Structure formats: C-alpha cells, structure tokens
Amino acid sequence: MRTGGRFRYGGNMSEVKALFDPQSLVRANIRRMKPYSSARSEFNGKAEVFLDANENAFGSPAGGGYNRYPDPLQTELKVRAAEPLCVSPSQIFIGNGSDEVIDLLFRIFCEPGADDVIICPPTYGMYKVTAEINDIGVKEVSLTENFQLDLPAILNAITLRTKLIFICSPNNPTGNLMDEDAILEIARCFRGIVVIDEAYVHFADRPSFAGKLNTAPNLVVIQTFSKAWGMAGLRVGLAIANEPFINLLNRVKPPYNVSGIAQRAAVGALEKRDVIDAWIAELLSERDRLVKELEALDIVRKIYPTDANFVLAKFVDSTSIYRHLLDGGIVVRDRSGVELCEGCLRITVGTKAENDRLINALFSFTNEMAATL
C-alpha cells in the first residue's frame, strides 16, 4: 500500500526487490550522464609497460610506487572487506571517508531546490551541512527524550519529495543504538532510501544492518575505517548496499577517489583483525571504568548509556569544566549547545593513561569547586 511518500513492502523476497528500484529515484541528469572512463578502468589484465595514463615514468621522490594511479575500484580492498561483512564485493563501495558516501547520495538522488531529507537530531552534523551544500531541504525530526527514533513523527514527515532518511546507530553524539524494529519499520514504509550510519558499530553488541539488505532493499549502510580501525588520517569509508546502489555510486564518484596508500593500509588492517579485536576489548573495558569513575563525581549529573567509543555526560557547569580541561591540555567535545544535550560534554575513551589524566583533572575541578563553597 502506498500513501504519499510512504510505501509498505509485503509479499515474498522477489516481490519486495521488484517493488524497490533505486533507478526510479535517481536524478534525471545522473541517468543521462556518461561516466568518466579513466585509463586504468579501461585496462584489464597484466602489463609491464604503462604508457596509458600520462604518469611520471621515472617514479616519485617519495618512492613507494606513488607515480602510478591507484585501482579506481579498489578491487582487493573490497574482496578483503566483504568477508567479515558476509556480503559480496559487488555490494561494497569504497569512499574517501564516509563523508564522500553521504555527499554522493545527495548528488545522485536529491534534486537541488526541490527534494528533501529527514535527519533526527541530535545526530552527526554533516548530514545537514551536506544537504545545505547541495541545496536540499532538511526536515528535522528530533529524537525522543531517551534518544530513540520518534517513529510516528518520522513517518508523518515523509512526502513524495523525501528521498533520504539518515539514521546514525550508534548515534553521535548520544552514543546509543537505535531501536532495530523502528529502523526496519521505516524501511518498510518508505519508498526512498534509508541510510544507516554505522561509524561506531564495532563497539556495539549488535551486528551490522548489512545483514538486512535482503529483507530491506532500500537500505544503504555506511561504515568507516576511521574509528575502530584507527585510520582516521587516511580517509577510507564504506557503503554496503545492494548492487544497483553500488553501481550508481561508482558511476558518479571521481575516478581515483581513494589513494593507493589508503587502500594498501586498509587491506593491511583487515589482515590484523586480532589486533583490532584486542584494542576494542581494551577500549570497552576502559569505557566501563570511565563510566564508574564519572559516576563517583559530584559534578556529574547524568551519564547516558553508550554503545560507542565515547561517553556523553551531563555536568553541573559544562562550560567551566570544558575550560578547566583545556587548561590542563585535555580536549573533549562540548555538546552543550546541541538539542537535547544541554550541559553535556562528549568524552572519547582514550588509553588508560589518557583516561587517568582526564579523571584526575575532573577530580581537581571538584576539589576546587568544593573549596570555594
């Protein structure tokens, strides 16, 4: 049944997939365009002399083979990344950070000055910024007081001009997972695209929504190598979706959007999953310790449940505490001006030594405040 911009999927899986065709949502100019064909995308097979891409054949002063363009489709990285996600390499797009994926989704599916998207604040700020850059309307449907999706309000906000709904889970800055049933209900009722941003999913005790692509064909799942994989400086993001989405992203992206250095580093990281798992385990242990230490402080009013590598805490005087930490060389994120996060600081879980330094600084502030009373 379809009502306005809402559409409820039903029937067997073949019927569900037939009901949703991303091509029907693509901007007309994107459908018409002829994609750029790079030299390396036209060549297949093995060769010893490369005279096709106008590269510097003498090499690079930095060494490392940097004079050659990287694989435009990141083939090896996709093969390595697909296995732990239990998807096909053809269901993976590699971007210059997850921000490139977000921007490409706007460019492919949203008509400037006409279409709109739904976001659920407080959430990741780049959804709104990217919408404004692309001249796309933004409907803000706030989270509930316990930082969950307001399902009725989201469904009521959908119109025929709504193309994308962004859901960050675990959410930034609140840290919590969104209700799975609510997300799937939105996907079932929405004729557009539901984007699940899983930047922090590796710290959560719930599998990726990548496992739901068969039952919810309008999902696009975003992940990143910036957080758990420790590669924020190299800018590698992923989109996991059914193949028609991936083909569209590849059609519009720049030819060499991910550097060879970043591709090799990501492949190397995937080969050291045991190291990553050990880091995650240690981080989660430190997260639990940090929460307990914060709970013991009189200056902390509330600590919100978290499934991420950070803690959102409400303080009695967040502005003064933020400045006190800065004076001690410690930077946290002041979220006190964000909707539903008044008086809150977002604290990334660091190493044991970094967390000790933070806790000691907060204790010193508590003692200084007590001395003035």
What CATH class does 2-34+70-271 carry? Answer: alpha beta
pLDDT of 24 strictly over 70: yes
CA distance 314 to 330: 18
Q: What is the pLDDT of residue 1?
A: 35
**CA dihedral over 77, 80, 84, 88, signed as positive or negative:** positive
Beta carbons of 187 and 157 less than 8 angstroms apart:
no
What CATH class does 274-371 carry? Answer: alpha beta
**DSSP letter string over 97-109?**
SHHHHHHHHHHHH
Q: What is the pLDDT of residue 275?
A: 96
pLDDT of 232 strictly over 50: yes
Q: In this structure, which amino acid lies at residue 327?
A: D
CA distance 71 to 50: 14
Q: Strand order in 333-334's β-sheet?
A: 300-303, 310-315, 344-348, 333-334
Instruction: Quote the pTM value.
Output: 0.92
Q: What is the pLDDT of residue 6?
A: 61
Question: CA separation (Å) from 12 to 15, 17, 18, 87?
Answer: 5, 9, 10, 21
204-215 per-position pLDDT tens digit: 999 999 999 999
Domain boundaries along the sequence of the chain: 2-34+70-271, 38-69, 274-371
Cβ contacts of residue 308 below 8 Å, gap of 6+?
170, 171, 172, 175, 200, 203, 204
93-110 per-position pLDDT tens digit: 999 999 999 999 999 999
- Picking from 237, 246, 235, the residue whose alpha carbon sits closest to that of residue 92 is 246
The H or E element containing residue 124 is: none
301-327 per-position pLDDT tens digit: 999 999 999 999 999 999 999 999 999
CA distance 190 to 170: 21
